Amino acid sequence: GENVEQHPSTLSVQEGDSAVIKCTYSDSASNYFPWYKQELGKRPQLIIDIRSNVGEKKDQRIAVTLNKTAKHFSLHITETQPEDSAVYFCAASSGNTPLVFGKGTRLSVIA
């Protein structure tokens, strides 16, 4: 089955700096890669996703890149703000299969 590795587990950045979180996946059949932001005690919130026919996608301060050959994808947050502090999860699926999540990255943005 699919295995998703996520790094780093914790990340601290100064407000205004960029944050990058990286994930790798094992199943070449995976073709959908969402990123979720989760605040304590709440459901994961989809912040951006990318499909395997696209190499990069951007939405304001958030971007995701996908390298299918290397089986890795990354989340980039620019101009970080304190409200970006949360746990971020990457995930992968092949469309009809359940999402398999990475272990999460606790991002702290220091004002």
Q: Which of 14/41 has CB closer to another protein? A: 41
Q: Which of 33/65 has CB closer to another protein? A: 33
Q: Shortest gap between Cβ of 25 and another protein (angstroms)?
A: 14
Separation of alpha carbons 109 and 83, rounded Å: 8
Q: Starting from the edge strand earliest in sequence, which strands make up the sheet with 19-25, in order?
A: 4-7, 19-25, 72-77, 62-67, 56-59
**Site for another protein (CB under 8 A): which residue of 15, 17, 103, 110?**
103
Q: Is the peptide bond before 82 cis (omega within 30 degrees of 0)?
A: no
16 binds another protein (CB under 8 A): no
* Contact string 74-93 vs another protein (x = CB under 8 A): ---------------x---x
Distances (CA, A) of 1 to 23, 24, 29, 30, 55: 16, 14, 10, 10, 24
* Contact string 34-63 vs another protein (x = CB under 8 A): x------xxxx----x-x------------
Separation of alpha carbons 111 and 106, rounded Å: 16
Residues that bind another protein (CB under 8 A): 32, 34, 41-44, 49, 51, 89, 93, 95, 98-104
